[in-house]
Amino acid sequence: MGIDPTNPTGIKAFVFDVFGTVVDWRSGVAREAQPFLNRHAPDLDVSEFVDAWRREYSPAMEEVRSGRRPYVRLDVLHRENLVKVLAHFGIAGACEPEIDELNLAWHRLDPWPDAVDALHRLKRRFIIAPLSNGNIRLMVDIAKRGGLPWDAVLGAEVVRAYKPSPRVYSETAEILAIAPRELCLVAAHNNDLAAARRVGLSTAFVRRPTEHGPHQTSDLKADEAWDFVVDDLHELATQLGCAR
């Protein structure tokens, strides 16, 4: 078969990292955490609290990736990490329902300003789906809140493994019944893209220089020559010929 002149890239589907790439997790979790801290730790800076919670993210998943722990969904890890952070800051007065409710902060995140309209543009020509470490219900709740127009919900819970484990990427291509090169990962994180490229996926880096706040030092630029390097998702859609 020859190259489709309307799609010279050969890409058939785009999958997206979600936390940081599609949604602004830091501002959303801070918004949700502030009333909780007002009650239990009014002198604690909310950004410090949120960043401490996020720092537990990768170590918790590594316990699963390493095989030291069976797969559990991210909601479970987030709650365990929250309990650790509460203990770290000496916050002892919260009841269990309050902790459960705060853990749902990750379900109520808002998209970056460009995300929804750009995803609609891409959806007209390509399959689009999340490829997130977030579990299915978490992804569904975020999508419903923000109007994210996914064709499917894919990611860690579907394959029961966490990125950057190679099979998260390779099994996603298999689920979609396409070759790895026909699947493009879109992410604001160079390490995610590097793992995807190692199993043959196409790659797109989108800059999110404030994901970690105003003093971010990581992922400010593309570390490799990814297939696409863009400043926002609209630029990606334009490069792919997706009309506004």
Indicate if 52 and 117 belong to the same structural domain.
Answer: no
Whether 218 maps to a domain, the answer reads yes
Indicate if 114 and 19 belong to the same structural domain.
Answer: yes
Indicate if 124 and 37 belong to the same structural domain.
Answer: no
The length of the chain, given as a count of residues: 244
Q: For residue 73, what are the domain limits?
A: 26-107
What is the structure's pLDDT at 7?
77
What is the structure's pLDDT at 1?
42
Domain boundary among 87, 107, 127: 107
Indicate if 150 and 229 belong to the same structural domain.
Answer: yes
CATH number at residue 189: 3.40.50.1000
Structural domain total, the chain: 2
What is the structure's pLDDT at 110?
98
Whether 42 maps to a domain, the answer reads yes
Q: In what order do the strands lie in the sheet with 202-206?
A: 154-155, 127-132, 13-16, 183-187, 202-206, 228-230
What is the structure's pLDDT at 200?
98
Indicate if 53 and 126 belong to the same structural domain.
Answer: no
What is the structure's pLDDT at 4?
63
Entry pTM = 0.95
Q: What is the 3-state secondary structure (H, E, C) of the chain?
A: CCCCCCCCCCCCEEEECCECCCECHHHHHHHHHHHHHHHHCCCCCHHHHHHHHHHCHHHHHHHHHCCCCCCCCHHHHHHHHHHHHHHHCCCCCCCHHHHHHHHHHHHCCCECCCHHHHHHHHHCCCEEEEEECCCHHHHHHHHHHHCCCCCCCEEHHHHCCCCCCHHHHHHHHHHCCCCHHHEEEEECCHHHHHHHHHCCCEEEEECCCCCCCCCCCCCCCCCCCCCEEECCHHHHHHHCCCCC
Indicate if 97 and 171 belong to the same structural domain.
Answer: no
CATH number at residue 59: 1.10.150.240
Indicate if 96 and 115 belong to the same structural domain.
Answer: no
Whether 135 maps to a domain, the answer reads yes
Indicate if 68 and 151 belong to the same structural domain.
Answer: no
Q: What is the 3-state secondary structure (H, E, C) of 162-212?
A: CCCCHHHHHHHHHHCCCCHHHEEEEECCHHHHHHHHHCCCEEEEECCCCCC
Indicate if 142 and 84 belong to the same structural domain.
Answer: no
Task: Kindly list the averaged pLDDT for each block of 10 residues, start to end, along the chain of length 244.
Answer: 67 98 98 98 98 97 96 98 98 96 98 98 98 98 98 97 97 98 98 98 98 95 98 98 92
Indicate if 90 and 142 belong to the same structural domain.
Answer: no
Task: Please answer whether residues 191 and 17 qualify as being in contact, where contact means their C-beta atoms are separated by less than 8 angstroms.
Answer: no
Indicate if 114 and 221 belong to the same structural domain.
Answer: yes
Indicate if 173 and 92 belong to the same structural domain.
Answer: no
